[in-house]
Copies of this chain bind each other. A is one copy, B any other.
Amino acid sequence: MNTFEQYESEVRGYCRNFPAIFSSAKGAWMTDADGRRYLDFFCGAGVLNYGHNPDRIKQALLGYLMRDGITHTLDMYSEAKERFIDQFNEVILKPRGLHYKFQFPGPTGTNAVEAALKLARKVTGREQVVGFTNAFHGMTLGALAVTGNGFKRAGAGVPLSHTASLPFDGFMGPESDTLDYFEMMLNDDGSGLDLPAAVIIETVQAEGGVNVASVAWLQRLREITARHGIVLIVDDIQVGCGRTGKFFSFEEAGIVPDIVTLSKSLSGYGLPLALVLIKPELDQWAPGEHNGTFRGHCPAFVTATAALSLWKDDQLERAVFAKQAIIEKRLAHIATIAGAEATVRGRGMIQGIEFADPSLAGKVSAACFERGLIVETAGIDDQVLKLLPSLTIEDSELKLGLDIIEDSVRALVKAEPRELRSAA
């Protein structure tokens, strides 16, 4: 670890919880430099929905590189981009009756969010954007201003402006519909909430602690934003690309956002790629008004195109729902071991378990790592154990990982039974 501890900035984070030096990976498994294998329930924070280095996509990538397919084109045209757009239209948008234009910003999620916010502000002529409690949209100043995490916000070094934070579904408890509050603020011109250009939302807040917005709440949010002429941006960077079962996470609610941001699993192989989908009537960009060097990262177009072939039928979707059932059942059981107050929540193959004692999630994660399973925590106090296995994981691997979690919880409960069952 010498190289890293001596030379890499103190900002490094995940490596502190999973202190191995990784060398190779395949499917649901990662291997470190000492040859030790780890089952992966983390998937690079949602980047590897199809597992590590899936062969079909790998072959497409190798073929492209070997024939000296062009690698980098900025936003000039390329065959690789053309095929991706055509395929995305054919496989994803048309079957769902969706019509969007494609903007390729810099190849990271935060850049997609910045582009979406700019466009919404331009189209509406307004400056204010509404985000939600415990949202996570990125680290650049525009995206950070709609991110809830106080520690990360403070890192800005400047006040974060032109945004307001409203309560996400469930923030005020199960009885309260938090959109009542938003609607009253909108309806009262004395509320001090300047009419927003946009609302940006994750249908399932992943970093925020696996908080799930209900179908009814999302539908009401779509209705309110439409009525007030507010652009609705769904940030599907972490829970799009099939994480919740359907390709887009908002499909279950039957809503159509005005703008959608995608990244993470979009390339299907861990290569950086981002996409902003824009309703045609909102595509009011002037040429070059937003740019970025790596907009034309062709190897990622190639892998993304290959990944889309997984969506030509509903096999993957059905597999996700089947595995969701396995996970939910087992987590419910684990919750009973951890104590009555532990709660399970999630959609599709993003599932979390929140313990009464917030520190337990971290202890379980550490115990799992010792047992060869990588699973991270989420939420403002890292109080939620977040399961994010690849969508293509084998059932046996899934069960193995769940066994490890159960074992870990059991061992911890045995060691310190009282502490775990009732929070401080």
Contacts and interface: CB of A to CB of B under 8 A. Distances in A.
Nearest to A380: B190
Contact of A77 (B21, B75, B108, B192): B21
Interface stretch (A115-123, A328-336, A401-409, A416-424): A115-123
A111 B18 CA distance: 25
Given A52-B68, A111-B140, A161-B158, A192 B153 contact: yes
B4 A85 contact: yes
A134 interface: yes
A88 to B, nearest CB: 9
A118 B62 contact: no
A11 B297 contact: no
Contacts of A271: 71, 271, 297, 299
Given A20-B77, A76-B22, A149-B190, A294 B71 contact: no
Contact of A190 (B9, B77, B101, B134): B134
Copy count, this protein chain: 4
B44 A72 contact: yes
A283 B287 CA distance: 37
Contact of A289 (B155, B181, B292): B155
A290 B11 contact: yes
Interface in A193-207: 193-195, 197
Contacts of A154: 194
Query: What interface size band does chain A fall in?
Result: 35 or more
User: Which of A104, A105, A106, A128 has the most chain B CB within a 10 Å cutoff?
Assistant: A106
Interface stretch (A25-33, A243-251, A304-312, A391-399): A25-33
A389 interface: no
B272 A18 contact: no
User: Which of A103, A159, A269 has the most chain B CB within a 10 Å cutoff?
Assistant: A159
B20 A76 contact: yes
B76 A52 contact: no
User: Which of A117, A128, A192 has the most chain B CB within a 10 Å cutoff?
Assistant: A192
